[in-house]
Amino acid sequence: MTQDTSPVGGGGGTREGAPEPPREYRVEELAEAAGITVRTLRFYRERRLLPPPRREGRIAWYTQEHLDRLRVVAALLERGHTLGGIAELLAAGEEGRHVAELIGLEQAITAPWTDEVPVRLTWEEVEAAFPGEAGAEAVRASVGLGYVTADRDGVTHVSRRLLDATVALVREGVPLAGVLEVARRTQEYADAVADLFVRLVGERLLAGLEDGTPSADEAHRLTESVLRVRPLGRAVADAQFTLAMDRRVREEYEKVLRHRLAAGTDGGPGGGTDGGRGAAGAGPDRTPRAGPDASAGQSNAAANMPGS
């Protein structure tokens, strides 16, 4: 039987129940995993941005630590740091971990909440979606809301879901100007809700950041906490909105129903003057009732109203 001499992480398997050995990368594999070229990786190694690899003959083996370090370097470069400054930040192992944890915390806090998909429309498609309503005023309102960016060839809408909902409302007969006005007011309320949530998280979770730079362990703890809280904010906002819609729709329906009942008792449509079935004060033979039974007739009318 030939003995397995494959490098660590290169295959061969492990005994059942034994922990998997740490993954190791050749230089080409590490560069691909980090999204850089081999030439760039070697340059970083020459500038002492990476700890030395493990050597096996002429082969250099890199670990997850090297990949994490390359991701930290990329994040710092995006923030405008020079390679010399990065080398100083990463000179000590603990300081390097500290920087990595701070970057992770920043990414957790500032990562986008939205998963909306933008959509591109030509001006012809805009006109087809909103026939006769997609004039300059509507475009300016949409740009002001931050929903679209416009150029000579058309517009880019930030959200496929919002665009589809707007098109559907317009097709139902709601004017585009009315939809945009409601969108403006909704945006104000949404900003207010977001302010409340940000204030809550800032005061209860991130208050320690004002006292100075957190340690690596503290930054790691805060990162995990922020990642757990983010979906809760969306869940609370969604639940509050749907509960509010339940309340408001019920209130509006009851208001309309009371108006119809009042119109019926005043002789309006469905009232006693037309002798309709269920009208207040009229019996099956359309003869007005008198005396004590009149109030009972009004109660029956309420019970027979559509939707009651």
Query: Residue 137 maps to which CATH number?
Result: 1.10.1660
Vertex 160 angle, CA 155 and 163, to 5°: 65
| Residue at 30 is within a domain | yes
Q: How far is residue 146 CA from its own chain's centroid?
A: 16
> How many domains are contained in the chain?
3
SS3 content of the chain, % helix, strand, coil (to 5): 60, 10, 30
In terms of domains, do 106 and 123 share one?
A: no
Phi first, then psi: give them for residue 157, nearest 5 degrees.
-95, 140
pLDDT digits 0-9 by tens, 133-182: 999 999 999 999 999 999 999 999 999 999 999 999 999 999 999 999 99
Location of structure tokens 């019926």: 264
**Does some domain include residue 60?**
yes
Final residue before a domain boundary, out of 110, 126, 143: 110
Q: Structural domain of residue 273, as residue ranges? A: 252-304
Q: Which residue has the higher pLDDT, 156 or 82?
A: 156
- pTM value surpassing 0.85: no
| Structural domain ending residue among the three candidates 110, 135, 154 | 110
Asked whether residue 182 is domain-assigned, the answer is yes
Q: Does residue 294 lie in a domain region?
A: yes
- pLDDT value of residue 154: 95
Indicate whether 33 and 101 sit together in one domain.
Answer: yes
pLDDT band at 26 (very low <50, low <70, confident <90, very high): very high
The residue with greater pLDDT, 10 or 41, is 41
Among 207, 6, 208, 216, smallest CA distance to 90 is for 216
How many Cβ atoms from other residues are within 10 Å of residue 159's Cβ? 17
Kindly state whether residue 211 falls inside one of the protein's structural domains: no
Collapsed DSSP state (helix, strand, coil) of residue 148: strand
